[in-house]
């Protein structure tokens, strides 16, 4: 049996070197950001020894940068830090809401967008929200960085597109234009502390008349991985986001969903509720966009 | 298994300890350092009994590795009272009978401190959502919320 | 009970004497003790819900460096059948098998072996090295399936008890119980309106935040000291002695502070294992359950299937009621179907009724007590049915209950006539409460329900020591779960006539104070409180004697008033009163230290009734329920520490609402609990609840010197039906099964076409 | 003669008799009288709870019984 190890690299090169070295020798390494999923797994389902590579000491993974054209959020930035960033919350309210929904205040002190994404849970709250705002994953590897749309990153329940030796550096999001806004809603049985039974993120752009010119809809917890629902966006674009359009988008989400029945909800229930969430989130995004 | 040496600060005191890389900060606090004021209710971040502050940030110590404490400042329930006596939050929890069995109390006091440090005048909804990660099975939260409200008042206008 | 209720300290809410240690992290709970040389014990648990153990090979684990001891079923003495006794009841042999399986595992998580090792990590590795060969059997998970004649059997020697004749073949029905009066057929014939309902509730857990933990330290003579979180260290000592065939005198139990119990810490799980591991290792062994262990392997309360039928005349008079109720016992006999059956109709004066109850074995953990065990489930059924009855009769639901309410002299369904009880006063208070009449927001509904619990007395001991400066130390044997030290201090202060601050209470271990039954059954403030009062009266008698000796008068010429001995009227007026401090200071000259004692088996625990009013809002698109307001009204007899009585009402309300809305044991087809953690076993969080309004009614219990009724259990009973009735009122749809989780509500609304 | 009532689960010990009249000065004497009348019932009845004139006793023994007393045997009550 191998042994556990812990390294906290202080540079990107050092981090990549550790990961590559492990990849090359078939030794297990796992990246640690906030640890709110990793430590739970260590306690239960996956106790196998490995080297834990803490990426919180890297400048890149801790960076939050809001530019005129692009927002960058480092993979290890805790949700609480995002939530306390008023400028970010004003610009991407839906994404920040989603980050604010990950677990308790305590969890938010550690959990990051990057970790939520890499954990690739079908129910990860921030993933549909990131899909809605067309976030792009910035992935570091020994041959440089590569980029990938966030909706392609999760490949199944608990699996992602990272290759051996790679890790997620952060997320890039186009700075929303005027009269654009996003919203995220999820359904849980309690008011807090639950895993989403269904989730939906919506972003919309309106023209001067209030007609929707662009939209993206992401759904979570209703399929093996979070999904971009193009049909839902199509139902919104060109409309004034009236009840009929919202209902059509909701119906598209229900159709796109392929949920399972489990301890958190039935297949039928999830399919219905994701439509309700889509309608409500799209209305919230619309109202925000109109107010901008 | 090789242990890692960690230098940290707990409640303002320099502390060095050895731990295994996969050991949690909670485990180190309780079993290695015998700082048992921080409680374990679940070990999976769902109950908040193990709440501590790391550099002033509220976290579950069961979801932090001991090795991650290197170079950081940890505040636990043992560090809340001062030479002057109980912290007003502690005093108000007592006065309002906001604890029955008391196992969740250390975590709730730490979480309340982190709330009031940020927001000196939270409304009831803010208090309830901030404390949603601290499970209490005895009180129904009523008296806890009242204690927090009263502690906020006391901190704003010390009697 | 004296008429005068002009108390000095009773009914106030002072800070508890153990408070500072609990807000500073000093208080030591079950897992907070670390002894020199200590090692760690861990339990290997069954991966199957029902299987025969073919073989256990511990040799690899035993050979591992850092492993001190490995034990399994064959290392235990054969425990004789027999009653455990005390509060928890049950069979010793079953208890022994429940803490360590012998030939069969009966639930997923059932203990099959235990190890002690230098570290928790090594203990985990040792568990992984134990080989167990199972013959997997079909699990019996559903209560109806378990009762079917051809069901697989958990126990081939289980013959239904309490039948007129022993049945000719075994079954999973461990026992039946019947209660009846009058002629129900005739009663239903007299009825103008009849309602029937069928209700299912899955298993639910007490959900105390502190997992079970203990440290056992055994010496070379086989004497063990056990530190543990328990509701009753004397009963834990007795159970451990019986299970391990040990002499009680060789076991010392020290109760740590306890992080919640609600009935779940009235039976042993780890303690006998820790004693054995420590004996083998000759070192202190610390054992701590994980949260997952707590859910899988400690006793939740029964899942139930209950049918109720109630008939009434137009004016609301109930003419007949029947109930059929099946309670899951889990792996071994002993579901709380008895109290469930005795409670279901207890609030009402019924001429004709019949109750049939079943104790049913299933491949789930053996149930343990949970706050008013058995009553929340059965009274949820009756109180839901009464809500429907009120609707059919077009009658106010409180008026309907008032029309049939039991009062002093009513023959309770379980036998005796009620002494003074507070049900009608609670109903009157509910009717008059603003919470019952204020307007509801759109989409919300209001529900009311009645709650009840018998309460018990049982055995308690107390000692009162007067220190040399006149301060008072109360020593008793009931772990303080919710502020009982403060209540004891209040009663002692009131009786002695001294300030509350002058009294401190402590909980002695099994070697330093007299026997007490568990902290449970809502008995501590009642029974142990009674012992404390008697011990204080003993002190007063001694003080009067010493004052008499000091003054050279007769004892009957000395009164005890306001905390001091005073001469009776007419006795030499120059004599200055002697305070407790004065008498204590002179104790050496008057006979030595002042020590008062009392031990008793308290009789006459008073039944406590409640009425709850719940306002809930239902999101018709998602089925989600929000609790808008909740009012708990309950007869406490007398509130000793007002804030902690309110706290009992509020905490019970929160637990009941959690049970009503979200809490449940969810099993897969193989009998594996799917939600063994606080993430998916959803107890209410702070943001789920509003402030919980309380109103304490005081109809003093004539059997207690201060009028105390037990107060801890009743609060959990009424919220289940109050919530169900509120959802019915909000949606127009009766949802008979709990929990009323969002998927269940949405499905019910759709099925009803609303 | 005190009126003594048995619940269903104890009827096996009384040959099905639900109610009897017994003369006894206290509970111990009552149990003895019942044992004479229904041999073998003593152990089970001794373990049951009993209500004497409305007062519930989990462990009755020397409690006085009046000629007009009502005595109900019942299941022991537990609690959480």
> Is C162 a residue whose pLDDT tops 90?
no
> What CA–CA distance (Å, rounded) separates C345 from C327?
17
Tell me what the mean pLDDT of segment A144-157 comes to. 97
DSSP bridge pairs for A212? A206
Q: How many residues does chain C have?
A: 754
Torsion of CA C241, C244, C250, C255, to 10 degrees: -60
Q: Chains touching chain A at 3 or more Cβ pairs under 8 angstroms?
A: B, C
pLDDT of C3: 47
Mean pLDDT of chain B: 97
> What CA–CA distance (Å, rounded) separates A158 from A150?
15
pLDDT of C236: 97
Quick check: A133 and A216 in contact, CB under 8 A?
yes
The nearest alpha carbon in chain A to B134 belongs to: A104
pLDDT of C89: 58
CA distance C449 to chain A (A): 23
Q: DSSP for chain A?
A: ----EEE--SSHHHHHHHHHHHHHTT--EEEESS-TTHHHHHHTT-----EEEE-TT-TGGG-EEE-SSEEEEETT-BHHHHHT-HHHHHH-HHHHHHHHHSS-HHHHTT-BHHHHHHHT-TT-THHHHHHHTT-EEEEEETTEEEEEEGGGTEEETTEESPPTT-EEEEEEEEPP-TTEEEEEEEE-SSSSS---SEEEEEEEEE-TTS-EEEEEEEEESSSSS-EE-HHHHHHHTTS---HHHHHHHHHHHHHH-----BTTB-HHHHHHHHHHHHHHHHHHHHHHHHH-
Contact of C124 with chain A, judged by CB distance below 8 Å, is answered with: yes
Contact of B64 with chain A, judged by CB distance below 8 Å, is answered with: yes
> What CA–CA distance (Å, rounded) separates C714 from C535?
29
Tokens 């609600």 correspond to C262
Q: Convert the pLDDT of each residue in D11-62 to its tens digit.
A: 888 888 989 999 999 999 999 999 999 998 888 888 888 988 888 888 888 8
Token representation of residue C240: 């451990």
CA distance B71 to chain A (A): 12
Chain centre distance of CA D38: 12
The nearest alpha carbon in chain C to B102 belongs to: C22
Q: Convert the pLDDT of each residue in A90-121 to its tens digit.
A: 999 999 999 999 999 999 999 999 999 999 99
CA distance A237 to chain B (A): 36
Query: 10 Å Cβ neighbour count for C54?
Result: 10
Residues from chain C that touch A195, judged by Cβ atoms under 8 A, are 679-680
Quick check: C586 and C576 in contact, CB under 8 A?
no
The nearest alpha carbon in chain D to C412 belongs to: D54
Quick check: C493 and C500 in contact, CB under 8 A?
yes
Token representation of residue A264: 């958190």
Query: 10 Å Cβ neighbour count for A177?
Result: 11
- Residue C403: phi and psi, rounded to 5, are -60, -35
Is the pTM higher than 0.90? The answer reads yes
> Is A288 a residue whose pLDDT tops 70?
yes
Query: 10 Å Cβ neighbour count for B3?
Result: 13
Evaluate whether chains B and C are touching (3 or more beta carbon pairs less than 8 Å apart): yes
Tell me what the mean pLDDT of segment C716-738 comes to. 98
Interface confidence: ipTM more than 0.90: yes
Give the strand order in the sheet containing C285-288. Answer: C67-72, C111-117, C39-45, C285-288, C213-218, C224-228, C251-255
Q: Convert the pLDDT of each residue in C621-673 to its tens digit.
A: 999 999 999 999 999 999 999 999 999 999 999 999 999 999 999 999 999 99
CA distance C640 to chain B (A): 14
Quick check: C532 and C462 in contact, CB under 8 A?
yes
Inspect the interface and report whether the beta carbons of C622 and A268 lie closer than 8 Å.
no
> What CA–CA distance (Å, rounded) separates C704 from C676?
42
> What CA–CA distance (Å, rounded) separates C625 from C619?
6
pLDDT of D55: 81
What is the b/e burial string over C503-514, where b = at least 16 CB atoms within 10 angstroms of the residue's CB? bbbbbbbbeebb
pLDDT of C78: 84
CA distance A194 to chain C (A): 6
Q: Chains touching chain B at 3 or more Cβ pairs under 8 angstroms?
A: A, C
Query: 10 Å Cβ neighbour count for C152?
Result: 14
pLDDT of C416: 87
pLDDT of C87: 47
Task: Tell me the pLDDT band of D79, cut-offs 50, 70 and 90.
Answer: confident
- Residue C613: phi and psi, rounded to 5, are -125, 120
pLDDT of D13: 86
Tell me what the mean pLDDT of segment B82-110 comes to. 98
Task: Tell me the pLDDT band of C86, cut-offs 50, 70 and 90.
Answer: low
CA distance A87 to chain C (A): 27
What is the b/e burial string over B111-149, where b = at least 16 CB atoms within 10 angstroms of the residue's CB? bbbbbbeeeeebeeeebbbbbbbbbbbbbbbbbbbbbbb
Q: Convert the pLDDT of each residue in C497-553 to its tens digit.
A: 999 999 999 999 999 999 999 999 899 999 999 999 999 999 999 999 999 999 999
Q: Convert the pLDDT of each residue in A214-242 to its tens digit.
A: 999 999 999 999 999 999 999 999 999 99
Quick check: B51 and A35 in contact, CB under 8 A?
no
> What CA–CA distance (Å, rounded) separates A134 from A182?
11
> Is C754 a residue whose pLDDT tops 90?
no
Which residue from B44, B51, B134 is facing A40, i.e. has the nearest CB?
B44
CA D78 vs CA C205, C648, D21, D45, D75: distances in Å: 17, 18, 29, 17, 9
pLDDT of A256: 98
Inspect the interface and report whether the beta carbons of C22 and B105 lie closer than 8 Å.
yes
Per-residue DSSP letter, C336? T
Q: DSSP for C276-326?
A: HHHHHHTS-EEEE--HHHHHHHS--BPPEEEEEEEEE-TTS-EEEEEEEEE
The nearest alpha carbon in chain D to C162 belongs to: D9
Among A222, A204, A226, smallest CA distance to A272 is for: A222
Do strands C503-507 and C472-476 pair parallel, antiparallel, or not at all (unpaired)? parallel
Where is D52: in which H helix or E strand?
Answer: strand D49-52
pLDDT of B1: 57
Mean pLDDT of chain A: 96
> Is C166 a residue whose pLDDT tops 90?
no
pLDDT of D58: 82
- In sequence order, which residues have a C-beta less than 8 Å from that of residue B72 and are 6 or more positions away? B8, B9, B54, B55
Q: Convert the pLDDT of each residue in C422-446 to its tens digit.
A: 999 999 999 999 999 999 999 999 9
The nearest alpha carbon in chain A to B64 belongs to: A35
pLDDT of C85: 61
Mean pLDDT of chain C: 96
Residues from chain B that touch A34, judged by Cβ atoms under 8 A, are 63
pLDDT of C245: 95
> Is A160 a residue whose pLDDT tops 50?
yes
> Is C4 a residue whose pLDDT tops 60?
no
Contact of B74 with chain A, judged by CB distance below 8 Å, is answered with: no
Q: Convert the pLDDT of each residue in A127-143 to its tens digit.
A: 999 999 999 999 999 99
Among C175, C125, C368, C360, smallest CA distance to C261 is for: C368
> Is A292 a residue whose pLDDT tops 90?
no
DSSP bridge pairs for C615? C446, C629
Where is C548: in which H helix or E strand?
Answer: helix C529-551
> What CA–CA distance (Å, rounded) separates A123 from A102?
10
> Is A1 a residue whose pLDDT tops 80?
no
Of A157-161, B32-36, D65-69, give the lowest mean pLDDT range.
Answer: D65-69
Contact of B110 with chain C, judged by CB distance below 8 Å, is answered with: no
Tell me what the mean pLDDT of segment A77-85 comes to. 97
Among C322, C333, C339, smallest CA distance to C359 is for: C333
CA C16 vs CA B100, C504, C643: distances in Å: 10, 9, 11
> What CA–CA distance (Å, rounded) separates B41 from B76?
16
Residues from chain C that touch D70, judged by Cβ atoms under 8 A, are 416-417
Residues from chain B that touch A105, judged by Cβ atoms under 8 A, are 58, 111, 114-115, 129-133
- What's the burial of C729, exposed, middle or buried (CB within 10 Å: 0-12/13-18/19+)? buried
> Is the peptide bond between A62 and the residue preceding it cis, with omega within 30 degrees of 0?
no
Q: Convert the pLDDT of each residue in C459-482 to its tens digit.
A: 999 999 999 999 999 999 999 999
Task: Tell me the pLDDT band of C365, cut-offs 50, 70 and 90.
Answer: very high
Quick check: C715 and C634 in contact, CB under 8 A?
yes
> What CA–CA distance (Å, rounded) separates C236 from C271?
8
Which residue from A44, A190, A263 is facing C675, i.e. has the nearest CB?
A263
Greatest alpha-carbon pair distance for chain A in Å reads 66
Per-residue DSSP letter, B31? I
Among C571, C570, C488, C580, smallest CA distance to C534 is for: C488
CA distance A82 to chain B (A): 13
Measured at the alpha carbon of residue C514, what is the angle toward residues C511 and C519, in degrees to the nearest 5? Answer: 100
Quick check: C731 and C445 in contact, CB under 8 A?
yes
Residues from chain A that touch B62, judged by Cβ atoms under 8 A, are 39
CA atoms within a 13 Å half-sphere pointing along the CA-CB vector of C77: 13
Q: Is B54 helix (H, G, I), strand (E, B) or coil?
A: strand
Torsion of CA A145, A149, A150, A155, to 10 degrees: -90
Task: Tell me the pLDDT band of C1, cut-offs 50, 70 and 90.
Answer: very low
Q: What is the percent of chain C where pLDDT is above 70?
A: 99
Evaluate whether chains C and A are touching (3 or more beta carbon pairs less than 8 Å apart): yes
Which residue from B78, B140, B143 is facing C24, i.e. has the nearest CB?
B78
CA B6 vs CA B18, B21, B28, C188, C722: distances in Å: 6, 10, 11, 76, 54
Tell me what the mean pLDDT of segment B126-144 comes to. 98
Q: Convert the pLDDT of each residue in B103-121 to its tens digit.
A: 999 999 999 999 999 999 9
Which residue from C177, C522, C603 is facing D55, i.e. has the nearest CB?
C603
> What CA–CA distance (Å, rounded) separates C618 from C742?
9
Tell me what the mean pLDDT of segment C322-336 comes to. 97
Among C742, C738, C465, C506, smallest CA distance to C626 is for: C742
- What's the burial of A148, exposed, middle or buried (CB within 10 Å: 0-12/13-18/19+)? middle
């Amino acid at each position: 049996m191998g042994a556990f190890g812990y390294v906290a690299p202080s540079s990107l090169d050092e981090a990549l070197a550790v990961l590559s070295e492990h990849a090359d020798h078939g030794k297990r390494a796992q990246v640690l950001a906030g640890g709110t999923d990793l430590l739970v797994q260590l306690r239960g389902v996956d106790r196998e020894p490995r080297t834990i590579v803490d990426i919180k000491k890297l400048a890149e993974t801790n960076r939050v940068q809001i530019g005129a054209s692009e927002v960058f959020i480092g993979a290890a930035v805790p949700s609480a830090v995002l939530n306390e960033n008023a400028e970010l919350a004003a610009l991407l309210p839906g994404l920040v809401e989603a980050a604010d929904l990950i677990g308790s205040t305590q969890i938010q002190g550690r959990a990051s967008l990057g970790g939520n994404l890499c954990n690739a849970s079908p129910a990860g709250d921030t993933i549909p929200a990131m899909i809605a705002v067309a976030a792009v994953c910035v992935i570091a590897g020994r041959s440089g960085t590569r980029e990938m749309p966030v909706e392609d990153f999760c490949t199944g329940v608990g699996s992602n597109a990272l290759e051996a030796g790679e890790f997620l550096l952060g997320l890039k999001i186009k700075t929303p234009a005027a009269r654009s806004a996003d919203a995220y809603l999820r359904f849980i049985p309690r008011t807090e502390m639950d895993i989403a039974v269904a989730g939906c993120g919506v972003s919309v752009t309106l023209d001067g008349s209030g007609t929707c010119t662009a939209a993206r809809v992401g759904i979570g917890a209703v399929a093996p991985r979070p999904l971009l629902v193009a049909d839902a966006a199509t139902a919104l674009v060109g409309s004034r986001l009236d009840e009929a359009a919202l209902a059509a988008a909701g119906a598209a989400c229900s159709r796109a969903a392929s949920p399972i029945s489990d301890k958190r909800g039935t297949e039928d229930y999830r399919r219905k509720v994701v439509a309700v969430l889509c309608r409500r989130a799209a209305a919230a995004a619309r109202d925000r966009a109109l107010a901008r | 298994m090789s242990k890692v040496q960690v230098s940290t600060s707990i409640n303002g005191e320099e502390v060095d300890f050895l731990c295994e890389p996969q050991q949690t900060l909670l485990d180190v606090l309780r079993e290695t350092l015998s700082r048992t004021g921080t409680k374990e209710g679940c070990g999976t971040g769902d109950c908040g009994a193990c709440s501590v502050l790391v550099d002033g940030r509220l976290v579950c110590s069961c979801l932090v590795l001991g090795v991650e404490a290197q170079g950081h400042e940890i505040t636990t329930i043992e560090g809340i009272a001062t030479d002057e006596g109980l912290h007003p939050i502690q005093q108000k929890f007592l006065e309002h009978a906001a604890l029955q069995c008391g196992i969740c109390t250390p975590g709730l006091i730490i979480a309340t401190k982190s709330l009031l440090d940020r927001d000196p005048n939270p409304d009831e909804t803010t208090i309830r959502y901030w404390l949603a990660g601290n499970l209490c099975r005895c009180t129904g939260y009523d008296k806890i919320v009242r204690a927090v409200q009263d502690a906020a008042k006391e901190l704003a206008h010390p009697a | 009970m004296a008429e005068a209720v002009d108390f000095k300290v009773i009914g106030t809410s002072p800070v508890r004497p153990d408070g500072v240690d609990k807000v500073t992290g000093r208080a030591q709970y079950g897992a907070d003790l670390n002894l020199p040389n200590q090692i760690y014990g861990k339990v290997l648990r069954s991966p199957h819900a029902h299987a025969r153990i073919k073989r256990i090979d511990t040799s690899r684990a035993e050979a591992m460096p850092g492993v001190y001891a490995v034990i399994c079923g064959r290392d235990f003495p054969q425990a004789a059948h027999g009653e455990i006794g005390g509060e928890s009841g049950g069979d010793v042999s079953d208890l022994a098998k429940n803490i360590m399986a012998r030939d069969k595992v009966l639930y997923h998580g059932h203990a099959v072996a235990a190890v002690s090792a230098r570290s928790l990590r090594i203990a985990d590795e040792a568990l992984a090295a134990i080989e167990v060969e199972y013959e997997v059997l079909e699990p019996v998970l559903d209560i109806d399936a378990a009762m079917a004649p051809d069901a697989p059997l958990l126990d081939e020697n289980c013959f239904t008890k309490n039948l007129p004749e022993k049945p000719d073949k075994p079954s999973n029905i461990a026992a039946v119980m019947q209660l009846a009066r009058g002629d129900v057929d005739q009663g239903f014939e007299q009825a103008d309106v009849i309602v029937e309902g069928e209700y299912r509730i899955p298993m639910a857990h007490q959900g105390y935040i502190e997992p079970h933990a203990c440290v056992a330290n055994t010496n070379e003579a086989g004497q063990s000291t056990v530190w543990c979180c328990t509701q009753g260290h004397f009963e834990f000592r007795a159970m451990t002695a019986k299970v391990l065939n040990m002499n009680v005198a060789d076991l010392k139990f020290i109760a740590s502070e306890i992080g919640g119990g609600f009935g779940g810490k009235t039976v042993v799980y780890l303690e006998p294992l820790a004693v054995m591991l420590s004996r083998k290792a000759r070192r202190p062994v610390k054992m701590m359950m994980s949260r997952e262990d707590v859910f899988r392997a400690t006793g939740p309360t029964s899942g139930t299937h209950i049918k109720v039928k109630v008939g009434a005349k137009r004016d609301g008079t109930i003419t007949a009621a029947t109930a059929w109720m099946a309670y899951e016992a889990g792996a071994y006999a002993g579901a709380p179907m008895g109290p469930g059956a005795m409670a279901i109709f207890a609030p009402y004066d019924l001429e004709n009724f019949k109750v049939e109850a079943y104790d049913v074995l299933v491949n789930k953990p053996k149930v343990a007590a949970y706050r008013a065990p058995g009553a929340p489930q059965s009274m949820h059924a009756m109180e839901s049915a009464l809500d429907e009855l009120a609707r059919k009769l077009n009658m106010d639901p409180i008026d309907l209950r008032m029309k049939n309410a039991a009062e002093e002299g009513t023959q309770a369904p379980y036998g005796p006539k009620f002494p003074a009880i507070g049900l009608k006063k609670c109903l009157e208070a509910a009717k008059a409460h603003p919470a019952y009449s204020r307007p509801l927001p759109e989409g919300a509904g209001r529900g009311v329900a009645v709650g009840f619990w018998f309460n018990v007395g049982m055995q308690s001991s107390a000692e009162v020591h007067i220190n040399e400066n006149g301060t008072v130390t109360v020593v008793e044997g009931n772990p303080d779960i919710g502020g009982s030290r403060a209540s004891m201090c209040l009663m002692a202060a009131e009786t002695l006539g001294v300030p509350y601050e002058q009294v401190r209470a402590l909980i002695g271990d099994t070697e330093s104070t007299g026997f007490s039954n568990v902290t449970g059954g809502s008995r501590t403030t009642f029974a142990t409180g009674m012992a404390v009062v008697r011990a204080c009266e003993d002190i007063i008698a001694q003080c009067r004697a010493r004052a008499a000796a000091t003054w050279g008068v007769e004892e009957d010429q000395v009164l005890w008033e306001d905390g001091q001995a005073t001469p009776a009227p007419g006795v030499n007026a120059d004599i200055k009163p002697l305070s407790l401090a004065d008498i204590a200071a002179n104790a050496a000259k008057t006979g030595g230290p002042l020590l008062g004692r009392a031990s008793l088996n308290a009789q006459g625990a008073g039944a406590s009734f409640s009425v709850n009013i719940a306002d809930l809002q239902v999101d018709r698109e998602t089925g989600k329920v929000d609790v808008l307001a909740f009012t708990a009204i309950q007869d406490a007899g007398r509130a000793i520490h007002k804030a902690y009585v309110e706290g009992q009402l509020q905490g019970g309300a929160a637990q009941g609402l959690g049970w009503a809305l979200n809490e449940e044991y969810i099993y897969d087809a193989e009998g594996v609990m799917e939600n063994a953690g606080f993430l998916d076993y959803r107890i209410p969080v702070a943001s789920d609840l509003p402030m919980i309004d309380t109103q304490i009614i005081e109809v003093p219990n004539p059997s207690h010197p201060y009028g105390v009724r037990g107060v801890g259990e009743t609060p959990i009973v009424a919220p289940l039906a109050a919530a169900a009735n509120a959802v019915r009122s909000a949606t127009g749809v009766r949802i008979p099964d709990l929990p009323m989780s969002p998927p269940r509500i949405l499905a019910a609304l759709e099925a009803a076409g609303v | 003669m005190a009126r003594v009532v048995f619940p269903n689960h104890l009827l096996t010990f009384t040959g099905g008799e639900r109610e009897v009249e017994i003369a006894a000065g206290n509970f111990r004497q009552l149990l003895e009288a019942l044992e004479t009348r229904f041999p073998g019932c003593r152990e089970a009845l001794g373990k049951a709870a009993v209500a004497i004139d409305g007062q519930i006793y989990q462990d009755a023994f020397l409690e006085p019984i009046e000629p007009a007393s009502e005595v109900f045997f019942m299941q022991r009550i537990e609690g959480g």
